[in-house]
Amino acid sequence: MESGFQPLEPELPRAPESRRRNCEALARVRAAVCSWHVLKTIALGQMVSLFICGTAVTSQYLAGEYKVNTPMLQSFINYCLLFIIYTTVLALRKGEDSFLHILRKKWWKYIFLALADVEANYAIVKAYQYTSITSVQLLDCVGIPVLMALSWFILRSRYRVIHFVAVAVCLSGVGAMVGADVLAGREENNGSNMLVGDILVLVGACLYAISNVCEEYIVKNLSREEFLGMLGVFGTFISGLQLMIVEYNDVASIHWDWKIALLFVAFALCMFGLYNLMPIVIKVTSATSVNLGILTADLYSFLFGLFLFDYKFSGLYILSFIVIMVGFLLYCSTPTHSADDLPQSDHAGITNTGLKLEENDLEVPVALRYIPGESATDVK
């Protein structure tokens, strides 16, 4: 006869509470890093890097093979394209979004923005004539902390500890890339005047930071078309005026042929693509994350240089790319916030909230969750 009682199965030991929380925290980190938003951000950022690579390679080829050093002429063509396309779009609008209304209300602001953008392009490209690639790469990174500081005060962005860690990781990747440049033989020409070149890089980096902060504010609060259209107007005027003053003789001395013309066209298309894509990426993420992502542009330039300029391969380039991407993923894994949306105790902006993955965070309603890479003001 069978008994009515079944033997009890032995109870399995429970995993320690700390281990369970660690597993949940790891799952949240994996979900944040592998989310569609972060993957899209990476893809868009690398497309921007490729456009930057295109401008660098064509400029280097013009300067090295044909002795053509005309950074202002190259920028002028891009601003003309922006003027023809986007200013025309604004001119066809009516009401408060029309070109005349924007020009009447904000003309002095866009003159300041265009001046910063034009001079940033000119200073960085001009610096290559005076200093080394290493100096340009290292000093150009100054723009990232300047950009973060401007975002702090102007856009009221607030960062977590993990964001500063991510920036440090990305900059260490730049250090590895500089070492790779030395091994690849890209430092044979140290420039004619290192001090002048280094000053130009620092000025250009700071001006780029100003331009990027203004761009982020405009594309997130106004429109991408307004930014590009007004930049096209005043950028064309400022770069055209500067072109006649500082590059008139250089342009007149160019011995034009189809190869030089093709390089100018390639540069203009890459620059135009960069200016079209940059506002889209900044609107999805932020100016700081975009600038971290495009640190990989030098790797793509090196890959082209293997075939065009006889560079030597170095495994440090692969290492630097991996390190930069790890830092970029860290930065995107935790959202920045606006100061207006943080508790009073967090207004200082430096907290360890980004490093703490609390269990209660898993129960936050979907409508109130922050999306990695976006500020709190962007969440609907």
Would you say 160 and 357 are in contact if contact means Cβ atoms under 8 Å apart? no
Q: What pLDDT is recorded for position 102?
A: 92
50-54, 124-128, 236-240, 289-293: range with highest mean pLDDT: 236-240
Would you say 204 and 127 are in contact if contact means Cβ atoms under 8 Å apart? yes
Residue 242, both tokens: 């500067």
C-alpha closest to that of 191 among 58, 57, 317, 63: 63
Q: Does the pLDDT value for residue 317 go beyond 90?
A: no
Please report, for residues 66, 267, 308, 313, the alpha-carbon distance to residue 60 in angstroms, rounded to integers and kept in the order given. 10, 11, 10, 19
Could you tell me which residues are beta bridge partners of residue 157?
338
- Give 346 or 308, the one with higher predicted confidence: 308
Other Cβ atoms within 10 Å of 361 Cβ, number: 13
Q: What pLDDT is recorded for position 371?
A: 40
Answer whether residue 40 is part of any domain: no
Q: What pLDDT is recorded for position 182?
A: 72
Would you say 83 and 212 are in contact if contact means Cβ atoms under 8 Å apart? no
Answer whether residue 243 is part of any domain: yes
Q: What pLDDT is recorded for position 192?
A: 62
C-alpha closest to that of 104 among 96, 112, 113: 96
pLDDT band at 186 (very low <50, low <70, confident <90, very high): low
Whose tokens are 């160019």? That residue is 254
Q: Are strands 157-158 and 337-338 parallel, antiparallel or unpaired?
A: antiparallel
Tell me 7's DSSP state.
Answer: P
Whose tokens are 């890959």? That residue is 303
Domain span holding position 218: 50-159+190-313
Q: How far apart are CA 123 and CA 171, in angstroms?
A: 22
Answer whether residue 353 is part of any domain: no
Residue 177, both tokens: 């890339």
Answer whether residue 296 is part of any domain: yes
Q: How far apart are CA 54 and CA 240, in angstroms?
A: 23
Q: How far apart are CA 107 and CA 110, in angstroms?
A: 5
Could you tell me which residues are beta bridge partners of residue 337?
158
**In sequence order, which residues have a C-beta less than 8 Å from that of residue 122 and are 6 or more positions away?**
71, 72, 75, 204, 242
Q: How far apart are CA 41 and CA 331, in angstroms?
A: 11
pLDDT tens for 32-66 read 555 677 788 888 888 999 998 898 888 888 887 88
pTM listed for this prediction: 0.78
Answer whether residue 239 is part of any domain: yes
Tell me how many domains the chain contains.
1
Answer whether residue 337 is part of any domain: no
Answer whether residue 177 is part of any domain: no
Would you say 328 and 367 are in contact if contact means Cβ atoms under 8 Å apart? no
Answer whether residue 197 is part of any domain: yes
